[in-house]
Amino acid sequence: MITDKLMKRETQGFNSLSFDEIGDDHLFTGLETPMKPNAFDISDEVKKEKIAHLFSQIMDVMGLDLTDDSLQGTPKRVAKMYIDEIFSGLNPANKPKVALFNNKYQYNQMLVEKNITFYSNCEHHFVPIIGKAHVAYISSGKVIGLSKINRIVQYYAKRPQVQERLTNQITEELKAILETENVAVIIDAKHLCVSSRGVKDDTSSTVTSYFGGVFNTPEKIAELQNTLNY
């Protein structure tokens, strides 16, 4: 069924698929997060004002009493959370600045940063994705600080996401910074759009991976998996 829809997308264009045809199917359009060309023509403060106004309308339609002490500040809190926190990765100004250092230790084996906890949001339902990322690379002569790996993961996670895209965005960023194809990224995450709604399966998780360069061999994949299981 999903194959038929993807074939229709290829032959007629993605926009020809109706909402009912797409349903809960896991589709995404490419490596880049879909953004309007004028996404940053207005300031973050103006965006917060607009979001707060619109979210108050949503709450009103739902029948909530915005004069209640507990609710009256909610629209502004949501707007601040969207712009400054959970979707801050949409703004290139928040991209982590990464400095390269010479590999003075001459360490030429894989370096693994595992169990990087991240929180993202599904772009289809705007509900949380909670997971762990495992990142490995082999130096081509340069290294980066360990915390920068975490920051890169967090930057790309803090936007409406699809896990496949998140995996590839982290990978491409590290490959560009480190100037090497020898990068591996594995993400294991729980999607609340699966566990808290729809099929309501609270036990499943989703695993995506990328093995580049020398990592794309059975030996290195096994070595990496053994390291992650250690």
What tens digit of pLDDT does each residue of 82-136 get? 999 999 999 999 999 999 999 988 899 999 999 999 999 999 999 999 999 999 9
26 is catalytic: no
Burial of 127 (0-12, 13-18, 19+ CB in 10 A): middle
Q: What's the whole-model pTM score?
A: 0.87
What is the rounded distance in angstroms from the CA atom of residue 200 to the CA atom of residue 64?
26
Q: Which of 122, 161, 169, 173 is catalytic?
A: 122
Residue 18 in contact with residue 155, Cβ under 8 Å?
A: no
For residue 21, what pLDDT is reported? 56
Domains and CATH numbers, the chain: 2-93 (1.10.286.10), 96-229 (3.30.1130.10)
Burial of 96 (0-12, 13-18, 19+ CB in 10 A): middle
53 is catalytic: no
193 is catalytic: yes
- What's the token pair of residue 140? 């081509």
Q: Which of 134, 154, 161, 163 is catalytic?
A: 163
How far lies 189's CA from each of 46, 125, 128, 205, in Å?
A: 33, 16, 10, 5
Within the chain, which residues score under 70 in pLDDT? 1-29
181 is catalytic: no
122 is catalytic: yes
For residue 52, what pLDDT is reported? 98
Annotated binding residue at 122? yes
Annotated binding residue at 26? no
124 is catalytic: yes
Residue 37 in contact with residue 67, Cβ under 8 Å?
A: no
Q: Which of 125, 164, 172, 223 is catalytic?
A: 125
Q: Which of 123, 164, 172, 223 is catalytic?
A: 123
Annotated binding residue at 193? yes
